[in-house]
Structure 1
Amino acid sequence: MPVRSAWLINRTETETGQSRADTRLAPVGTMTPNGALTTAGGVLPGSTGGEYLMSGLYVFGESAGMNATVAPGRAVIQGQGPAGAYPVALTDYTEVTFGDGDASNPRIDLVVLRVYDTQFDGTGRTEAVLEVVVGKAEATPEPPLLPDASLPLARVLVPAGASVGTGGIAWADAVYDMRVSTVAVGGILADSWNRDTPGGYPGQYRDTSSTLQRWDGTRWTSYPRQAGGIAPQGALAAGEYTGQYRDEAGRLQRWDGTVWRPAVPSSAWAYNNDGGYCATTAWVEAVADTNGPTITATFTAPVTGAILVTVGFVGNTGVDGQWCRMGANIRKGATLVLAANEERAATVGSKALTSVASTFRVTGLQPGAEYSAVSAYCSSATSNRGWFDNRFIRVDPLV
């Protein structure tokens, strides 16, 4: 069998062990640690022309029957306990044969690349081989246990009654590829299959074909794409680090660790041109005799937590010498953050129709939180109807 392994006892070309050719062919030095004295086993990635992630040791069937073929390739196999890891190479396309299927139930067999080293396993053998590990035939079969010092290459479903005479194994659907890749320490693991293979050490990286990921000691976490730049539209549903930016339909957004927020909040604006009056001396959020709703401008607080609020209207008083005012209550949800008062109000003090506005600054808001500025009105006396028309609120972020 054309299976060669390094780090076995010396041999000649006709005896078991290790030859100089074995050492040249075997992937010596391809070792990724996953313990103080253990190595992550796997197949070396690569293919002719670089088209495929990994072509080595691929298991496939080309014609009906009970024989599969294993493609040439190189691998590393972790031995038993203190035995260490064995670099192994398969130099030719090699057939493996499956036993006939059970008469009643299917089974699952494993194709493995295995190392025997009698110094550690006492088998009396010193060689690397391809083997079929036969599973148990059951109505719902499970794969057999993996032997020590072996690397699984494929899982094969052997149907009940399968044999050469009955057409054998349906290779197109029967083979499940179990290969995982391995690279030298510090290299980026090629893992387009996205297996749940744990990393060997915090700081190890793998490439999943679409994302670069880092092992943090517990799980694989995606390395930020477009780090320091702006992610294009549709690239990120969730941010990968706090402070990341993305383009969302022409609007720049920033990831705050939980949700995307506008990077530069826009101005908020609310307006109503249906007039009404107020004749209460306490602040109220609606005027009477109007079809227009209470004016509410909803906004997101900028990173500074500071905004400019402008309120204005066209109006007049019902009684000479009296006044009427429009201000704004600032709310976060149902909580009143800042109440309207006379110092932050637009005031009319004449029966003549007058256009007025007032701008005031609000600070101390929670950056990224949503607030609302709600119109509020009052009059100098209950006998004075203050009229309000063309009412508006504008909120501008201070950045």
Structure 2
Amino acid sequence: MNLRSSWVAETGQTREDTRLTQIGATNALNPVQVRSGILPGSYDGKYRLSGFWMTNASAMSATVSEGRAVIQGDISQGAYPVTLPASENITFAPGDALYNRVDLVVLRIHDKLYEGDRNEAVIEIIQGFAEQTPKARPVPARSLALYEVTVPAGASAGNGGIPWATGLKDLRTTISSVGGILPVEGPVQPGAYPGQYQDTPDAQFQRWDGGKWVAYPQAVGGVVPNSVSASAPGTYTGQYRDGAGGRLERWTGSAWAPAVPGPYFNDTLTASYTTSTSWVSALVDRPALSLTFVAPASRQAMLTFGSRIQLVGSGSGVGFMSVKVMQGTAVHRDNSDSYAVVCQSPGNISVSTTQRLHTLTAGATYTVTAHYRTTNTALQAWFNNTFLQVVPQH
């Protein structure tokens, strides 16, 4: 067996054994114990973890690649550093005749001071039971789980063997030195002290606050990265995050909302007319045109509206377009000839205006609805390419 360990064998530990296994990587688990795990790293720097990677060697055997790890014993037993300086082949027993089974591959320390009759560090297969619903057996003491391997019923070297592409479940976990940032692989484990840091597989930097892992930008008031789940709530009102599509969002206390709302826009390219001399929101062949907006903290917004207007019929008159601004059922600004865009021509004329809305209620929702009228019932006041736009002022 190529697996090397320090301070297990009663005799025969070489200077090379000691040099290979002096790892200096002990993530605290509590004041006395450390976390079991594999040292991170890869040959080309592209991967978090390549140590003890397992690949198929044949139908029923696999190759475990080289790596270094620490295996924590019980609280009074200490931690065992181990090193595999060259890859190792392991072979699985043939499958049961009727049922699948799940085998467990572990790094294991046999220390007869506490159990058994030998002192040895090994890569071991803990064979599972063949059952209708198979599961792996518990991880033995002084062991670090590497993989679960599903061995199908009837699997053998001459009968297809293990389906390596789908039959492996990676259980490897990482460690780093005290105070180091842990590159997380496998299950997320609790921290050992407030102020401990880890880097998750989705590139989120987290700090242990004594009870949970908290995304570091949240803890210091920075912008939450978009790698955080979109369903994750904010931790305080006023927190910002990088939302979908790069939109900056702000936590309102109950939901993520655009940090800079707007601009708001609505339009229609359908032409229609009215002969009404009083304000109407719907034209003969066109429903009302409106939009809603949320008032910013400044309580101000720029309102722009317009249309292409034409008067058709006999006689003279004027066509008007205005807007009514409502907050719920309350009128914030009513229709007015003074605020309207106007046309007094049988030819098509495009007209628009920009005006300031002020004394809005910050955070309240407002509705802007276009209204129209003419001064002569004998004239059809036509409106085409009609639009509304509100740009909040920040």
Same fold flag (TM > 0.5)? yes
Residue by residue, what CA displacement relative to the aligned partner does 1:13-55 show, whole Å, maximum 9, x if unpaired?
Answer: 2xxxx55433311153211123333322111122333354333
Residue by residue, what CA displacement relative to the aligned partner does 1:289-316 show, whole Å, maximum 9, x if unpaired?
Answer: x545444244453442312446789899
Contact 1:30 1:184 survives alignment (8 Å): yes
Partner in structure 2 of residue 319 of structure 1: none
Within the alignment, does 1:46 sit opposite 2:37 as a pair?
no
Partner in structure 1 of residue 187 of structure 2: 196
What is the percentage of aligned positions where both structures have the same residue?
Answer: 30
Q: 2:55 aligns with which of 60, 64, 67?
A: 60
Shift of 1:151: 0.5
Partner in structure 1 of residue 348 of structure 2: none
Query: Compared with structure 1, are the counterparts of its residues 28 and 170 closer, same or farther at alpha carbon in structure 2 (3 Å cutoff)?
Result: same
Shift of 1:149: 1.4
Contact 1:325 1:345 survives alignment (8 Å): no
> How do 1:74-113 residues align onto structure 2 when only pairs under 5 Å count?
74-113=68-107
Q: For 2:4, give the aligned amino acid.
A: R
Q: 1:206 aligns with which of 192, 199, 202?
A: 199
Residue by residue, what CA displacement relative to the aligned partner does 1:29-83 show, whole Å, maximum 9, x if unpaired?
Answer: 2111233333221111223333543332223331245x43332211111212332
Contact 1:11 1:19 survives alignment (8 Å): no
What TM-score, normalized by structure 2, do the two folds share?
Answer: 0.70
Q: 2:152 aligns with which of 138, 144, 159?
A: 159
Task: Work out the CA distance in 1 between the residues paired with 2:165 and 2:340.
Answer: 79
Shift of 1:92: 3.2
> How do 1:380-391 residues align onto structure 2 when only pairs under 5 Å count?
none
Query: Compared with structure 1, are the counterparts of its residues 88 and 105 closer, same or farther at alpha carbon in structure 2 (3 Å cutoff)?
Result: same
Q: For 2:204, give the aligned amino acid.
A: L
Partner in structure 2 of residue 143 of structure 1: 136
Question: Over the residues paired in the alignment, what is the CA RMSD in angstroms?
Answer: 4.9
Contact 1:312 1:346 survives alignment (8 Å): no
Task: Work out the CA distance in 1 between the residues paired with 2:223 and 2:160.
Answer: 57
Task: Work out the CA distance in 1 between the residues paired with 2:168 and 2:353.
Answer: 76
Within the alignment, does 1:256 sit opposite 2:250 as a pair?
yes
Q: For 2:45, give the aligned amino acid.
A: G
What TM-score, normalized by structure 1, do the two folds share?
Answer: 0.70
Contact 1:31 1:39 survives alignment (8 Å): yes
Indicate the SS of the match to 1:24: helix
Contact 1:315 1:386 survives alignment (8 Å): no
Q: How many residues align?
A: 368
Task: Work out the CA distance in 2 between the residues paired with 1:330 and 1:105.
Answer: 72
Q: 1:132 aligns with which of 125, 130, 155?
A: 125
Task: Work out the CA distance in 2 between the residues paired with 1:279 and 1:394.
Answer: 25
Residue by residue, what CA displacement relative to the aligned partner does 1:177-226 show, whole Å, maximum 9, x if unpaired?
Answer: 322222223333334x6x33324245422242x523425543575869xx
Q: For 2:68, give the aligned amino acid.
A: R
Task: Work out the CA distance in 1 between the residues paired with 2:277 and 2:178.
Answer: 80
Task: Work out the CA distance in 2 between the residues paired with 1:310 and 1:99.
Answer: 77
Structure label with greater radius of gyration:
1
